[in-house]
Amino acid sequence: MLNPALTSRIVKVPCAGGVEPNMADYDQTVANFTWDGVRRTLNGLPAGGLNIAHEAVDRHVHVGRGQRIAIRWIGKDGARRQFSYLELMQASNRFANALRQRGVQPGERVFALMGRVPELYVAVLGALKARCVISPLFSAFGPEPIATRAEMGNARVLVTTPELYRRKVQGLRDRLAELRHVLLVGEAANDISDSSVEPWSDVVDSCSPDYTIEPTDPEEVALLHFTSGTTGRPKGALLVHAAVLAHAATGWYALDLHPDDVFWCTADPGWVTGTSYGIFAPLVNGVTNVIAETEFDAATWYNILEQERVSVWYTAPTAIRMMMKLGTEALRHHDLTALRFMASVGEPLNPEAVVWSQEAFGRPFHDNWWQTETGGIMVANYASMDIKPGSMGKPLPGITAAIVRRTGSGIVVIDTPDTDGELALRAPWPSMMRGYLHEDERYRKCFVDSWYLSGDLARRDTQGYYWFVGRADDVIKSAGHLIGPFEVESALIEHPAVAEAGVIGIPDPTVGEVVKAFVALKPGFEASEALQLELLGHARKRLGAAVAPKEIAFRTNLPKTRSGKIMRRLLKARELGLPEGDLSSLESDEK
Ligand code: ATP
Ligand code: MG
């Protein structure tokens, strides 16, 4: 069990900053919600159909909001660029024209491999306007993961920088048989003498700023997103233009975006949070979207929050834990009065982190849950709702969630509250994936009796709040108990010495599996046998002997994916001397 002293502490922030939440009452909103209603708030293409880029950008220009700042970009070196909605419309039109001029056809795949620079955002929106499928990749990936994904995705166009091209793509060009056009952003690259490679400035800047988007079927594929690869080889999820309905609704309800907000999502577009919420949801909701090129550094991040007067902030537990590691002192001299809503996604948010944020920022992080496959937030803590620290909240209006158990022939829905089972969502919804690239069988297996099965275990309490238990693959079976690593990790990080914890099961002939924990310490604490015993004692006291780890090992860092998730499968493989499997998503280069 998660610590009742934390989870029973209800955190309520009534009307933060004097702004009324978009969702006044959860039950009432659920009762009145329809996806058709969301569709009516959007525009649709003049020529017919629905296109994400039109709803995100052009629509605002057509209703006279073209001068509003759409993107405010802050470079690593402090350089700044901003684009109004009108300028972003014109820039993305140029890119769509450039694709058309080069004969790139609707449905063909455009890959982007860049840091968070404005051209990346322009390319994503422009490719969608040209009805191409866009696939952004992490610029920090090495050559192999890039080649594998681009090869799998039949990349036709690649937008990258000369430096990334030289280091990561050039040597593997022979594997990318279908790649016809490479556009290089930034400095000149006279040393690259391949006829398919052209400078962005030559190709795009000379194109017309006018572009008419062709009718786009809402079911047309828009995005190819690879999953984080936390549990194995990344899967290529295909999302369609209709997903924009979910971007609109979740931006409005789950992130509580108001038209005057300044929003900052810290995720990279290389994973789905960085596109759904780093690009589409804020733009669809017409806010100013801050893009920071820099990686995590608490001081820099606090400066950005202060200087940009960020009002809504969406980040991830890994960053929050790093901030916790530094304590509240680092925050002291920053004026964060503009900040009114903070949300988190990607991993379970330990109750300790919610309570800490309430103390440190004067407002709590609102955890929400979703996956690459769901295309948008599915379960969330809403601005108007009390938070139970450690809970990921309630299903989005328009989404039916359930806790289910798989049987040999189908599934049964578990109605009894507080019972562990698999988190399932009733299919379909607009942003649901419509396929896994080249893996039809795997895709089909995700659906049983019209439910999408998430592969995550959770429980629902008597008040309808959902609680994450663990990934089905990570759950530990010990002496007849089912143990979710999250509750053990959460208990460990309540200890003042612990910054992060990763918990796995080690096979054991007597009890099935025994719980082993790996912990990284906060600055100022040294690994020692005494601390090990203290942590074991702390965990046993908090969790009871059956659930507490039997062993604790210290690590300087825990292995993580590029999107910052603890890779328990790798901790386990290393512990047991098993093959480490696909490591293409590993954060560091320790492969
Ligand atoms: P792969 O599917 O390749 O193993 P992944 O599941 O980490 O990688 P993503 O789609 O990026 O890829 O992540 C979704 C998963 O992240 C969820 O299924 C869940 O396990 C975890 N997750 C996301 N948000 C939360 C949250 N708020 N609480 C708990 N877990 C979360
Ligand atoms: Mg997954």
Mutate which of 149, 226, 349, 372 for ligand 1? The one with the most ligand atoms within 8 Å of its CB, which is: 372
Query: pTM of the full predicted structure?
Result: 0.94
DSSP string, 296-338: --HHHHHHHHHHTT--EEEE-HHHHHHHHHH-SGGGTT---TT
Ligand 1 center from residue 566 Cα (angstroms) = 10
> Which ligand minimizes its atom distance to the CA of 225?
1
Task: Please choose from 565, 568, 570, 587 the residue to mutate so as to test ligand 1's pocket, defined by most ligand atoms within 8 A of CB.
Answer: 565
**Using one digit for the tens of pLDDT, what is the confidence trace for 193-242?**
899 999 999 999 999 999 999 999 999 999 999 998 877 778 999 999 99
Whole-number Å distance, alpha carbon 370 to ligand 2 midpoint, is: 9
CA–CA separation, 509 and 493 (whole Å): 29
For residues 394 and 382, is the Cβ–Cβ distance under 8 A?
yes
Instruction: Identify the helix (H) or strand (E) that includes residue 574.
Output: helix 568-576
Distance CA 287, CA 267 (A): 17
Instruction: Report residues whose beta carbon is within 6 angstroms of any ligand 1 atom.
Output: 227-232, 234-235, 271, 345-348, 367-369, 371-372, 392, 454, 456, 468, 471, 563, 565
Query: How far is ligand 2, taken at its centre, from the CA of residue 533, in Å?
Result: 34
pLDDT, tens digit (0-9, with 9 covering 90-100), for 340-396: 999 999 999 999 999 999 999 999 999 999 999 999 999 999 999 999 999 999 999
Q: Give percent of the chain above pLDDT 70.
A: 98
Rounded distance between C-alpha atoms, residue 542 and residue 525, angstroms: 21
Task: List, as own/partner pairs, every contact residues 568-571 make where C-beta atoms lie below 8 angstroms and the sequence separation is at least 24, other chains included.
Answer: 568/474, 568/485, 568/502, 568/503, 568/504, 569/230, 569/231, 569/232, 569/473, 569/474, 571/502, 571/504, 571/518
The pLDDT score that the predictor gives to residue 68 is 98
Cβ neighbors of 450 (< 8 A, separation 6 or more) are: 426, 427
Distance from residue 372's CA to the centre of ligand 2 (Å): 7
Q: How far apart are CA 355 and CA 567, in angstroms?
A: 25
The pLDDT score that the predictor gives to residue 546 is 86
Question: Given pLDDT bands bounded at 50, 70 and 90, which one contains residue 102?
Answer: very high
| DSSP one-letter string for 375-409 | -S--EE--TTS-B-TTEEEEEPTT--EEEEEE-SS
Q: Among the atoms of ligand 1, which is closest to the Cα of residue 235?
A: 3
Pocket test for ligand 1, best of 233, 238, 370 (most atoms within 8 A of CB): 370
Protein residue whose Cα sits closest to atom 21 of ligand 1: 347
3-state secondary structure 504-564: EEEEECCCEEEEEEEEEECCCCCCCHHHHHHHHHHHHHHHCCCCCCCEEEECCCCCEECCC
Q: Rounded to a whole number, what is the largest CA-CA distance in the chain?
A: 71
What rounded mean pLDDT belongs to the chain?
Answer: 94
Model confidence at 15, pLDDT cuts 50, 70, 90, reads low
pLDDT at 17: 66
Determine which residue's CA is closest to atom 17 belonging to ligand 1. 371
Say whether pLDDT at 12 is over 80.
Answer: no
Q: Whose CA is nearest to atom 24 of ligand 1?
A: 346
Task: Identify the pLDDT of residue 590.
Answer: 45
Provide the terminal-to-terminal Cα distance of the chain, rounded to the nearest Å.
35
pLDDT confidence of residue 115: 96
Q: Is the pLDDT of residue 591 over 60?
A: no
- Omega prior to 507 cis, within 30 of 0: no
Burial 382-395 (b: 16+ CB within 10 A, else e): bbbbebbbbbbbbb
Cα 440 to ligand 2 centroid, rounded to whole Å: 16
